[in-house]
Amino acid sequence: MARMIAPIALRMQRAALPGLLSALLLLAGCASAPRQESRVGTQFNQAVAVSPSKRNDVIIMALAQLNTHYRYGGSSPAEGFDCSGLVDYVFRTATDTGLPHSTERIAEISRPINRSSLSPGDLVFFNTLHERYSHMGIYLGHGQFINAPSTGGVVRIDSLDSRYFARRFDGARTLFSAN
């Protein structure tokens, strides 16, 4: 079922159904469990393991952020997002797991996976500033990912196979536990 979400998401984006997503998120938010921090003091645990049952929640929350403005250092829909702020917000809201506001630190606490093993909700990393893990996004399935790409832009869906991102792909990682 999770692999079917990406084509549906693309149709929803084109059909502009933000009201439906907002209603779904409102209902999901009412049923959420108390937030569980993955922090010890100011340090993040090295082992972050999110239940695979939360994959769809991650995708729905990520899609709800489409067209939110980019803002360097941003970490909320109201102020805008940068790439790691988007990932932290989505995982914190959808899974009650707070993450560092740093692509490099998120890479450190996530588990590497093969690109061929990507599942919706996994993370994709890119070298966009001649620096490893300088950009990231959330994989949606079917070669698509959602990200907050750059100043002046908005949260959007891109393809791993696009000329720009294919040349800069830096690896795939996951925060989901193996079982």
> What are the domain boundaries of the chain?
2-25+48-174
Report yes or no: 45 and 38 within 8 Å, Cβ to Cβ.
yes
Query: Which tens digits make up the pLDDT trace of 50-108?
Result: 999 999 999 999 999 999 999 999 999 999 999 999 999 999 999 999 999 999 999 99
- For residue 155, name the pLDDT band (cuts at 50, 70, 90): very high
Catalytic residue of the set 56, 69, 83, 130: 83
Q: Which of 45, 56, 69, 135 is catalytic?
A: 135
101 part of the active site = no
Based on the residue annotation, tell me whether 147 is a catalytic residue of this protein.
yes
Q: What angle do CA 127, 132, 134 make, to 5 degrees?
A: 60
Express each pLDDT in 5-50 by its tens digit: 555 444 444 443 343 333 332 222 222 223 333 343 335 556 689 9
Q: What are phi and psi of 132, to 5 degrees?
A: -55, 140
Query: What percentage of the chain reaches a pLDDT higher than 90?
Result: 72
Give the global pTM. Answer: 0.77
CA distance 166 to 85: 23
Closest by alpha carbon to 138, among 81, 58, 76?
A: 58
Q: Is 30 a catalytic residue?
A: no
Using alpha carbons, select from 87, 103, 90, 95 the residue that is nearest to residue 38: 95
Architecture label for domain 2-25+48-174: Alpha-Beta Complex (3.90)
